Amino acid sequence: MTQVSSLTHAISINPANGEQIGHYPFESASALDAALSRAAAGFRAWRSKPVDQRSQLLIALAQALRDNAAAMANMITLEMGKPITQARGEIEKCAQLCEWYAEHGPAMLSAEPTLVEGGKARIEYRPLGPILAVMPWNFPIWQVLRGAVPALIAGNTYVLKHAPNVMGSAFLLREAFKQADFPEGVFEVINVTPDGVSTAIADPRIAAVTLTGSVRAGMAIGAQAGAALKKCVLELGGSDPFIVLNDADLDEAVKAAVIGRYQNTGQVCAAAKRLIVEQGIVEEFTRKFVEATQKLVVGDPLASDTYIGPMARFDLRDELDQQVRDTLEEGATLLMGGKKAEGPGNFYEPTVFGDVTDQMTSFKQELFGPVASIITARDAAHALALANDSEFGLASTIYTRNVELAEQMAGELETGGVFINGYCASDPRVTFGGVKKSGFGRELSHFGVREFCNAQTVWLDRR
């Protein structure tokens, strides 16, 4: 039940009942070579295509996603357990992403004139080439497209190596690209072993590498990309602080904290994992948060009213359960949940810890599942110190009516994003990425477009 790959196949297992729903043979060395050749040949043609034509193809992709939304959302739910309503929302968000970059992407690639004393100079944004993307299972379509779409509008081609438990979703996405009439080689899907990934990274046809995944995976892929002297973007784990100060709108803060922690069954790198609450309101916040969490519907991910489904893999549930038990042994107060759900499937009870300290497992480690930790802060300064006391630095949230104080705290928070009176979002209008062990490089906004560009100086008549 825990296996997502064998020596010969990637395996998809329905986490709601443990049934195998697909197995996909790993590709041979010759098949990988052919895919890289198509990506390289496709790049030569794609980079020459006018950017407005690339934009039109993105609009066609948005339509293809909507045309196939039911099948794609259903596959996401079957493969990794995302509640179906959230899976449908993921597909629509991807369609909107394509449309946004179709409209705004071309301007991000415009040449930038610069003042020089002799002649004329400008900076051009040129594509790098085929990008190898190693992607995770938790947002099987969104995680891929939020990296792919900016890279494609810039003129790069994309080679996707997806997580083995969501290969069905990967192949449906490939079909959407075909339906949208993207040229051959612009978007390739490879199903290979870790050795195949290493081969692709070292191959001269791959220009750069991007990975979304664990710190361990990021260290491995980053080391290989570095050895090959290739640009690498890493979006890794997080243990995001969610700060609530005494003067916050408590009801809004609780509502945002529940969504921020439990959406996608808590399997989000930028989830609100550490709820840092000022001591004057911690008791009331805790009561309201537990009450709201108790109302969340846990169950069949194909049911439209389900908010929390099964965790994606049985081994990950076991790992989370061990972290929960360690935290309890360290002295945290269990307010609800705290164990695997009974019955079939890979369900874990929504869990809330109180009295968590900075020495406990749930504070120091990333808990990738439906577990919230409430930490008491003496004041705003202490909340800031607790927030920064982490090896991660992906995103953070502050709830307070004192916007001036929040802005000051934002300047001192060691995270890639700060959200004031609103929970974290991955949105094409703003950049996304982290610092510390949450990785480096940026996705989305104009940074996502230019991340895999050669910023080229062109200087005419320099004297």
- Give the model confidence (pLDDT) of 169-228 as tens digits: 999 999 999 999 999 999 999 999 999 999 999 999 999 999 999 999 999 999 999 999
Q: Are strands 9-13 and 20-25 parallel, antiparallel or unpaired?
A: antiparallel
Note whether 209 and 200 are within 8 A (CB). Answer: no
Q: Where in the chain is the domain with CATH 3.40.605.10?
A: 9-236+438-460
Q: What are phi and psi of 138, to 5 degrees?
A: -75, -30
Q: Which CATH architecture has domain 9-236+438-460?
A: 3-Layer(aba) Sandwich (3.40)
pLDDT at site 3: 53
What are the Cα distances from residue 341, in Å, to 267, 268, 278, 301, 351? 17, 20, 32, 15, 11
Tell me the backbone φ, ψ of residue 345, rounded to 5 degrees: 90, 175
Q: What positions carry a catalytic annotation?
A: 235, 269
Confidence of residue 320 (pLDDT cuts 50, 70, 90): very high
Which of these, 51, 67, 192, lies nearest to 109 by C-alpha position? 51
**Degrees to nearest 5, angle at CA 293 with 288 and 299:** 165
CB atoms within 10 A of CB 71: 14
Q: Is the pLDDT of residue 439 over 80?
A: yes
Token digits for 314?
Answer: 């049985």
Predicted pLDDT of residue 1: 39
- pLDDT confidence of residue 5: 64
- Which regions of the chain carry the CATH code 3.40.309.10? 240-428
Which residues have C-beta within 8 Å of that of residue 28, sequence separation ≥ 6?
none
pLDDT at residue 7, as a whole number: 77
CATH of domain 240-428: 3.40.309.10
Q: Could you read off the pLDDT of 72-114 as tens digits, one per residue?
A: 999 999 999 999 999 999 999 999 999 999 999 999 999 999 9
Average pLDDT of the chain is 98
Residue 27 CB-half CA count within 13 A: 20
The C-alpha atoms of residue 172 and residue 69 are separated, in whole angstroms, by 10
